[in-house]
Amino acid sequence: MANAYSDILKMIKDVEAAKTPGEEFVVDLNRYIQLSQPKYTPSRSIKPSSLGGCFREQWFMLQGADQDVGALADPGLIGMGQHGNDRHNHLQNACQDAKNYNIPIIWCDPEDEVKRAQSMGIHTVIKRRDGNELLCHNSDYNCNFKCDGIIIYKGIKYILEIKTEDYFKFISRIAPVDKHEFQAAMYCICFGIDRTMFLYEDRNYLVKKGFVSVVPETFRSEVDSRTKHILLYNGTNTVPPKEKGKCTYCRYKQRCKLLGDTVVNTIEELTVKKSKILLAERREAEKKNLEES
Ligand code: SF4
């Protein structure tokens, strides 16, 4: 509960530091923004947006671990998330409306796209519609995902992936980051589409940059092996090592600290471990059957 106390202490400090009604108003408004946030509990599935991130963080989600207690998100970060959602909506609506202005962007119905993927033998199903997006599940990868959209631009079909980012990242952007490529590759695999239209938007001036990325075979196999690796860590109850450069937005910092450092296990090592677990489970079941018969 240490962080719950530090939240209260911070609130008291903020209130004491506020000298004018304007400052007090900002403190109160920020407090409201923090307290009114709905609690987010991630599903116990692989998240494409985290696939290029820390294995241990994904492992916590798969295990259904409790998130950090008491640590309220920064009001600025909450606002950035809301701004990102708003911009996604506006840009998705623009892509849907473009054809009415004879602009060669066609918005594809995601439900039709799921049916098409299923006809290709891909095990993607719809869980629910959420505004412009569909929440889908792919059982091949135990993965839940919402992709920003699927478009046809000048006759070519793309996964649409929208990213908003701060000005300084944006001005030096010359290509999508690997983490985003992993995420998009997962969507491509789950929809049977081979390319992504990345749309990056600068959060300050709303300038945009577009990048086309064709999913290379190496990426597909990397997505396969990362997913397999994470699922094996989970299936053998083995704690993955820390990946310290990826902690900024992680909601499991307290649990991670408690578990301490661990070593890397290769896919081969975890596969052997998993076989032993399955064998032990089978023997236990046979023993129980014998005892009962
Ligand atoms: S705190 Fe950092 S190392 Fe630990 S799980 Fe989160 S991202 Fe990984």
Helix (H) or strand (E) holding 124: strand 124-130
- Report CA-CA distances (Å) from 198 to 99, 149, 174: 20, 11, 12
Q: Given 2.60.40.10, 3.90.320.10, 1.10.3720.10, 1.20.1600.10, which CATH number is that of 44-285?
A: 3.90.320.10
Residue 118: closest CA among 191, 11, 21 = 191
3-state secondary structure of 14: helix
- How wide is the angle at C-alpha 48 spanned by C-alphas 210 and 229, nearest 5°? 130
| pLDDT tens digit sequence for 85-120 | 999 999 999 999 999 999 999 999 999 999 999 999
**What confidence category does residue 72 fall into, taking pLDDT thresholds of 50, 70 and 90?**
confident
| pLDDT tens digit sequence for 151-206 | 999 999 999 999 999 999 999 999 999 889 989 999 999 999 999 999 999 999 99
Average of per-residue pLDDT values in the chain: 91
Dihedral sign for Cα 264, 267, 268, 273, please: positive
User: Whose C-alpha lies nearest to ligand 1, atom 2?
Assistant: 247
Amino acid 282: pLDDT: 93
- What percentage of the chain carries pLDDT values higher than 90? 68
User: Whose C-alpha lies nearest to ligand 1, atom 4?
Assistant: 256
Tell me the C-alpha distance between 255 and 57, whole Å. 10
Amino acid 234: pLDDT: 95
Tell me the C-alpha distance between 193 and 268, whole Å. 30
Phi, psi angles (nearest 5°) of residue 163: -130, 130
- Best residue for ligand 1 mutational test, from 49, 50, 244, 258 (most atoms within 8 Å of Cβ): 244
The pTM for the full model equals 0.83
**What is the pLDDT averaged over residues 253-273?**
96
Q: Ligand 1 centre and the CA of 184: distance in Å?
A: 23
Domains of the chain, by residue range, sit at 1-36, 44-285
Q: Can you spell out the DSSP letters for 60-110? A: HHHHTPPPPSS-PPPHHHHHHHHHHHHHHHHHHHHHHHGGGGT-SEEEPPH
Q: Which residues pair with 125 in a beta bridge?
A: 137
